[in-house]
């Protein structure tokens, strides 16, 4: 889950949630919850009890203290700021390292605002990737389940626009699961 935060210096930051770091620590967290359940059932009560408390606090601290941000400086420079246990590492992207921005949406677009708009449509998703040289992609935005489809689409558009303007990068749009040939056949 990503959120946009405005900076006082005129730049902006986009928080990147997920990734391997958070995934590993989420697995540790759920393993600790499983240990807590087993400890209450009487299976190795002391060992699992102590281990679950240690792992719960460790995983919560590791996730809380390790956010990642894509930062757009006022001069147009784009950088990645990673924190691991509150220790920052900053990676500046040169113009030659960035190929473009890719926006991926679900095959079914959300209904416009009004009577037909759904506030609970979780089938719609939008993702924004920063394409790096060498074919790598850095996920900058992923739609959140708590937002409406229109809000998620608007946030993806604003983030893609800010990155495109800052880095003078081309933007490509794609729909996952959408076949233009099948859509044209269905229309005719």
pLDDT band at 6 (very low <50, low <70, confident <90, very high): very low
Is the confidence at residue 5, as pLDDT, over 60? no
User: How many contiguous H segments (helices) and E segments (strands) does the chain have?
Assistant: 4, 9
Name which residue leads in pLDDT, 128 or 7: 128
Cα 58 to chain centroid, rounded: 22
Phi and psi dihedrals of 112, rounded to 5?
A: -65, 165
Q: What is the pLDDT of residue 57?
A: 94
Per-residue CA distances from 118 to 112, 151, 175, 177 (Å): 9, 11, 20, 21
Q: What is the pLDDT of residue 20?
A: 83
Contact (Cβ atoms closer than 8 angstroms) between residue 2 and residue 17: yes
Q: What is the pLDDT of residue 4?
A: 47
- Of 48-57, 150-159, 179-188, which gets the smallest average pLDDT? 179-188
Contact (Cβ atoms closer than 8 angstroms) between residue 121 and residue 110: yes
Name which residue leads in pLDDT, 36 or 148: 36
Contact (Cβ atoms closer than 8 angstroms) between residue 163 and residue 130: yes
Encoded tokens for 129: 């990737």
Average pLDDT score over residue span 78-87? 88
Q: Are strands 137-142 and 87-93 parallel, antiparallel or unpaired?
A: unpaired
Name which residue leads in pLDDT, 64 or 123: 64
Q: What's the order of all strands across the beta sheet hosting 98-106?
A: 137-142, 126-132, 98-106, 171-176
Of 96, 79, 101, 104, nearest to 165 by C-alpha is: 101
Cα 121 to chain centroid, rounded: 19
Is the confidence at residue 9, as pLDDT, over 90? no
Average pLDDT score over residue span 70-77? 81
Name which residue leads in pLDDT, 173 or 181: 173
Encoded tokens for 128: 């924004």
Q: What is the pLDDT of residue 55?
A: 93
């Amino acid at each position: 889950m990503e959120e946009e935060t405005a900076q006082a210096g005129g730049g902006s930051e986009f928080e990147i949630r997920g990734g391997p770091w958070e995934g590993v620590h989420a697995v540790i967290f759920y393993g600790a919850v499983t240990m807590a359940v087993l400890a209450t059932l009487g299976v190795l009560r002391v060992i699992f009890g102590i281990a679950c408390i240690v792992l719960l606090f460790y995983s919560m601290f590791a996730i809380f203290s390790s956010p990642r941000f894509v930062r757009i400086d006022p001069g147009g420079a784009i950088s990645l700021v990673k924190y691991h246990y509150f220790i920052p590492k900053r990676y500046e992207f040169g113009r030659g390292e960035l190929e473009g921005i890719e926006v991926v949406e679900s095959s079914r677009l959300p209904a416009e605002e009004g009577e037909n708009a759904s506030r609970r449509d979780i089938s719609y998703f939008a993702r924004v990737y920063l394409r790096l040289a060498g074919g790598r992609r850095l996920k900058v935005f992923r739609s959140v389940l708590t937002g409406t489809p229109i809000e998620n689409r608007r946030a993806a558009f604003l983030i893609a626009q800010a990155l495109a303007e800052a880095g003078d990068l081309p933007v490509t749009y794609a729909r996952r699961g959408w076949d233009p040939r099948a859509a044209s056949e269905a229309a005719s």
